[in-house]
Every structure is written in structure tokens, then in C-alpha cells.
Amino acid sequence: MPVDDLIVGLDIGTTKVCAVIGELNDAGRVEIVGIGTTPSDGLRKGVVINIESTLKAVTKAIESAEMMSGREVGSVFTGIAGAHVEGINSRGVVAVSGRDREINNEDVRRVIDAARAVVIPMDREVLHVIPQEFIVDDQGGIKNPLDMIGIRLEAEVHIITGSVTSAQNLLKCVNRAGFRVKDIVLESIASSKAVLSEEEKELGVLMIDLGGGTTDVLVYVEGAPYHTDVVAVGGEQVTSDISIVLKTPSEFAEKLKLESGCCYMPLIDPSEEILLPGVGGWPSASIPRTELCKIIQPRMTETFALIREKMLKKGYLNHLRGGVVLTGGGSMMPGAAELAKNVFGVPARIGYPFELGGLVPEYRNPMYSTAVGLVMYGHELAVRDNAVPSVGKRSKDGFGDKFRNWLKEFF
């Protein structure tokens, strides 16, 4: 099968690099045929700090996915995250240009240009411009204004920006590993494609992607993103807390977290014991599992409380009729959904990637949400353009003409 028929999502995270290979079947639908995961230590808080280490992890993850799929990867869609990512809402307004006052593509392009004309620092770059709604002569809530009659056209958009150097370092890692980057996508946007239903987006939903170094936050209201945020706390902090309190090495703390961790005390049997491995000649010992929960629950509660506080300040907490969806590796911690429901006061669930076909049991895991979402993003571009998209060229405003792509998707 030609390489161009492959769509590859590459999630370069703080604790792991994950590659997911999708291919188009005869019906034009994407199926997952390869998955590769390898530990990563070249990033901190979602930002590359060691290019050599990161490119080795990228190479290893993609090679593992290639081996599973029997395919050769040439290009990828890669995600970007980190505390440098910021989202802002903006509005633009233009006069409808046609003599008959019928709104055309040029009017829509001009109004989105007007909405995206915000001042950003020189060291930042626009990653996405996503339309939220259009307003024609004060009539709001319009998703597609084309061919409507009006005098005044307004657009509300969500603009996501990121650090130029962080994006360039990501590109450099992937390019030096021998692969082309077709597009760079905000990881929370990618994850939302894999785990959120259209109904949830319309109702209003808070998606929390619990990663190793950071926690990504995305709020959808009436079908469009309105708030993007990154909290610089992740699973690494939980492991660190366990290591410090129990005076055990990080690798043992991570093992305890994965095998016995729980972040919601009511789920634990008070009589349950866990084995604490011996270190440095000291014998192993058993402790109540509740003691481990007493370490983990406060950190997870703090993370959710930080997000809740920001939701309150921005007025989004009352718009979450679709509840909270947790995804990412951290969401697999027992009790995560119960704790989130308790903190936010709305229903919460774990977000598993949608079933696409292929290696279903292998990729339907929250830790693969971003990589699967990147494949879905690439597939949407392929369907929209009737071909797998070519390598994106950086425009003066960012990685490709993002607002045009999003506008096509919106329509």
C-alpha cells in the first residue's frame, strides 16, 4: 500500500511517545493498523528540553508501529502541548460586500481575518483559528452564513497560540528522526475528536486530558471550543509525592501508583494492604492501601480544583450540561471519575477513543486518545480534500492556513 494512504498520529508527551498508524480501507474509512509506544525523558511539562533523546524516542515509537502494521511511515501529524499554549476568544465584523447583500466565501474569509487580527507577541504563533458562531445583522447562533442576506457580518472565533520555539523544536525532532510533519495540532483538540460526541459538545462539556507532565483543558459550548488551558501538573507529580512520602525510589513509586493507586477513598476497603518494596537492604513492608490514597487524592483534588476555579472565573461551570470527560493516562487511575464528579458537581466519565476498526482492543485506551485523535484529524483533512493532505507549509501566520481548514470543517 502506498505511504500516502497512511495517516499517522504522533503524540510526543512528557513521559511517553506514542505513534498510531491508520490506513484508509476500500470504503474510504480509516482503520488503526499499528501502535508504538516508548518511554520519553526528553520533555518537561510538554516542552522539548533534549532534542537527541526526544528524536530517539520518536524513532523507536514509529518503528514499533511500523513493525506492527507492516507499513513504512513517511509523514506524521504531531501534537503540541505545554504551559506556553494559550487560547483567546475574539470577534470580527465586516460589511457584506456583494451588491445583492448575499454572503459569499470572500465575506466569510474577511470576517475571520478581522477576528484573528489580534496582537500577539513576536515569540508566539497562531496554531488554530476556530469559528464559534456567526452573527448576521444581530442574529446570532448561525453556524453557516453562506448565501444568507445581510448587511453586517460578525464572527466569533477561538484563537489558539503557542510558542514559536517550542513548535520549532518539535518539528526539528521529528524531521531529524527522518519524518515529515504534515501538521501540528493542539493535543487537546486532537483528544476531543477521539473521545467527545457531537451531542456532548453541543450541550457543553469540559474535557480534561490527564498527562504525565501537564493536564490539558478544553471547554466546548454549543459545539465549539471556548476555553483552552494547560495546567502544569500531571502524573509525574503524583509519583513524586508517593516517592517523597513513602521514601521510595521513583520507579517503585510509579509501580505502586499504577498497580495499587486510587484517588477516591470511598472505593477502598479499609482492611486492604499493599506491599512496599524494600530499598537499600531494608526489608519490604506492608501498609494500608488507604495510606497510598491519602497521598494521591489530595494532588488529584488540587488539580481538579485549579481547573474548577478557572471555570468559575470565566463563567463556564454553569454551561457543562454534558458534564466532564477525563482522558489521558492519568484518567485510568481508579476513582478519577468519581473524584471529578465530586469536585465539579456534574456527571463525569472516562473518555475512551471511538472505535474506528482495526486493532480495536489495543487502541481503545485513554492513553492513546491524543494519537488516535491526530489520525482522525488527518482523516478529516483527507476526506475534505479528497486526498491525504500534502505537507503543510508554514505561512506567515502559523502552520498552514489553519483558519481555512477549520472553516471548511465547520461548514
Task: Walk along the chain (411 residues) and give the pLDDT tens digit of each residue.
Answer: 344 578 999 999 888 999 999 998 887 788 999 999 999 888 887 788 888 899 899 999 999 999 999 999 999 999 998 888 999 999 999 999 877 899 999 999 999 999 998 988 899 999 999 999 999 998 988 998 998 999 999 999 999 999 999 999 999 999 999 999 999 999 999 999 999 999 999 999 999 999 988 899 999 999 999 999 988 889 999 999 999 999 888 999 999 999 999 999 999 999 999 988 777 667 778 899 999 999 999 999 999 999 999 999 999 999 999 999 999 999 999 999 999 999 999 999 999 999 988 887 888 999 999 999 999 999 988 777 664 433 333 333 443 344 444 444 444
Look at residue 44 and tell me if it is in a domain: yes
Look at residue 252 and tell me if it is in a domain: no
What does DSSP say about strands 348-350 and 324-327: parallel, antiparallel, or unpaired?
Answer: parallel
Verdict on whether the full-model pTM lies above 0.85: yes
Residues 106 and 91 in one domain: yes
Look at residue 384 and tell me if it is in a domain: yes
Sign of torsion, CA 340 344 348 354?
negative
Burial group, residue 326, by CB count within 10 angstroms (0-12, 13-18, 19+): buried
Q: What is the CATH number of the domain that holds 72?
A: 3.30.420.40
Residues 7 and 138 in one domain: no
Residues 134 and 178 in one domain: no
Residue 267 DSSP label = G
Residue 144 DSSP label = -
Among the candidates 126, 146, 161, a domain finishes at 161
Phi, psi of 81 (to 5 degrees): -150, -170
Residue 100 has a pLDDT of: 86
3-state secondary structure of 167: helix
Among the candidates 121, 146, 161, a domain finishes at 161
Among the candidates 143, 161, 179, a domain finishes at 161
Residues 70 and 172 in one domain: yes
Q: How open is the CA angle 343-14-249, to the nearest 5 degrees?
A: 85
Residue 220 has a pLDDT of: 96
Q: Are 14 and 44 in contact (CB under 8 A)?
A: yes
Look at residue 370 and tell me if it is in a domain: yes
Look at residue 54 and tell me if it is in a domain: yes
Residue 355 DSSP label = P
Range of the domain at 103: 86-161
Look at residue 135 and tell me if it is in a domain: yes
Residue 149 DSSP label = B
Residue 24 has a pLDDT of: 85
- Distance, in Å, from the CA atom of 46 to the CA atom of 232, rounded to the nearest integer, reads 9
Residues 27 and 134 in one domain: no
Residue 4 has a pLDDT of: 58
Q: Are 327 and 190 in contact (CB under 8 A)?
A: no
- Distance, in Å, from the CA atom of 274 to the CA atom of 373, rounded to the nearest integer, reads 36
Q: Which of 373, 375, 366, 300 is nearest to 328 (CA)?
A: 366
Q: Are 22 and 9 in contact (CB under 8 A)?
A: yes
- Distance, in Å, from the CA atom of 217 to the CA atom of 206, rounded to the nearest integer, reads 7
Q: What is the CATH number of the domain that holds 97?
A: 3.30.1490.110
Residue 386 has a pLDDT of: 60
- Distance, in Å, from the CA atom of 182 to the CA atom of 167, rounded to the nearest integer, reads 13
Residues 34 and 140 in one domain: no
Residues 97 and 155 in one domain: yes
Residues 141 and 173 in one domain: no
Residue 82 has a pLDDT of: 85
Look at residue 49 and tell me if it is in a domain: yes
Residues 23 and 152 in one domain: no
- Distance, in Å, from the CA atom of 145 to the CA atom of 174, rounded to the nearest integer, reads 39
Question: Residue 368, Cα to own-chain centre: how many angstroms?
Answer: 10
Burial readout 157-179 (b: 16 or more C-beta within 10 A, e: otherwise): bbbbbbbeebbebbbebbeebeb
Residues 21 and 144 in one domain: no
Residues 157 and 125 in one domain: yes
Look at residue 100 and tell me if it is in a domain: yes
Q: Are 87 and 158 in contact (CB under 8 A)?
A: yes
- Distance, in Å, from the CA atom of 35 to the CA atom of 180, rounded to the nearest integer, reads 18
Residues 95 and 63 in one domain: no
| Number of compact structural domains in the chain | 2
